[in-house]
Chain A
């Protein structure tokens, strides 16, 4: 057994630890593994070329960019912000659970780039999350503010991951289908996507519950601090 191709895995780890450009790291890892496996340089180039070209469906999502760009130019983000901002009576748990559900459903429909850490979390979800907490108490301390923001970011990731692979035309389902096809097993995308549905539901229930517990613990902690400050003020 030739274990030298595992050097490619080492290259990936070292490259990411050194914070080199991921595209460069990944291609170098492929070259190292191929050479270690005994491929000649021309054969390795051919393998790189065919592997890349056979996976080109993974960039088809870029075809959606012109339409989304035109809509952004006409104020899509601004409209979404104003619309969400007009919903009143929100608690942190309700806000994050609603966002989680929306993000999952949008991802299931293939609209993964509608939201995201840069597009929605920083400008919308994080400040709104802080606001829902501060609506019912004093301003957040620095540590709690960071925890609330991190929870908002986590909620976006979880909504994206456990929605997107239910969508038929996106990377995950096609990668699975393509992998099996090259190994002689023919599957319909729908048959794969359906089996991601139970986990999508479980992800919503588990994370929504965690957000609720997070808010309760946060409020309890803030109540203790507030009580201590009140007692201190009476002295």
Chain B
């Protein structure tokens, strides 16, 4: 049976390869960063299993690994990794044409296929894909198939997959990890009671008997917290545990799927408004050589506010049926 662990191990191997290449190029901070991450991915399943079995030591070592990543991240320098010459790429593009899109489209295609049909794939009475993890296992399988298709189409040597993958990984640098650490921060915030603090504060401020007041508190809470954190992923667990779950879902019986989806989208409206979302709102200012650091936010705030109103209206109209 294909389990999600295989995908994590595959990713750990890729991260280890990236660490090795960086080590040979004497980029020590990057090498150490990817190596620690490779260990965390390779051992992740074991850490969770040991923790569930009552042995806290592996989880504590993983925690030290996270601290190491945080200390290494500021030392990673973004360098331009060497690429094939533009002339070669252009001539290859003219030769291959639209066929270049095919392996790229295999990734979403196979992922969706496994997500929808994976449950029916049975070999010798065993399910081919573990239930619950079908979409992610599908994504991993799709990525693997796409690599083979791309290598076959372009007649590139197999090692090119590792080299080119590492080039993109190093272009992302520590930013690749930001969604993950922000989600982890959400977990720590939840355990530390930050959500309850905020919910307690909000509970004192709003009339919790009113559905509308709760919808507004949740939606606007997502926006404000996203503006502060620069990322809706960090806001979601905190605000949903603090306001969405106790007030909307438990007290007023709202649908969790609708509250979750639209709450996240309220957060996305906040992302469009904040300089804290640097890679979306500040990086393009530099890339496009604009004078004002707020030029991009100025171009997108009306869309963000109109969509926020849309989301709030939709949530009040649909979530309580």
Residues of A that sit less than 8 Å from B by CB: 1-3, 5-6, 8-9, 12-13, 16, 20-24, 26-31, 33-34, 36-37, 39, 42-79, 82-83, 109-111, 114, 117-118, 121-122, 126, 146-147, 149-154, 156-158, 160-162, 165, 167-169, 171-172, 174-176, 179-180, 183, 185, 187, 189-196, 198-199, 202-203, 206-207, 210
Contacts and interface: CB of A to CB of B under 8 A. Distances in A.
Given A5-B193, A26-B178, A78 B86 contact: yes
Given A8-B194, A154-B303, A54 B147 contact: no
Nearest 3 Cβ contacts at the A-B interface: A69-B164, A75-B93, A49-B62
Interface residues of B, number: 152
A73 B143 contact: no
Contact of B103 (A47, A52, A71, A169): A71
Interface stretch (B8-16, B120-128, B205-213, B215-223): B8-16
B59 A46 contact: yes
Interface secondary structure of A, over-half rule? helix
A181 B86 CA distance: 47
Contacts, number: 442
Interface centre among A29, A70, A82 (most CB of B within 10 A): A70
27 contacts: A22-B230, A23-B74, A26-B178, A26-B234, A30-B184, A33-B192, A37-B192, A43-B56, A48-B67, A49-B59, A52-B65, A53-B47, A59-B41, A60-B136, A62-B176, A63-B144, A65-B168, A66-B14, A66-B161, A70-B160, A73-B160, A74-B93, A74-B154, A150-B296, A154-B303, A167-B108, A193-B261
B214 to A, nearest CB: 17
Given A8-B189, A21-B174, A117 B287 contact: yes
Interface string B153-182: 110100011111111110000111111111
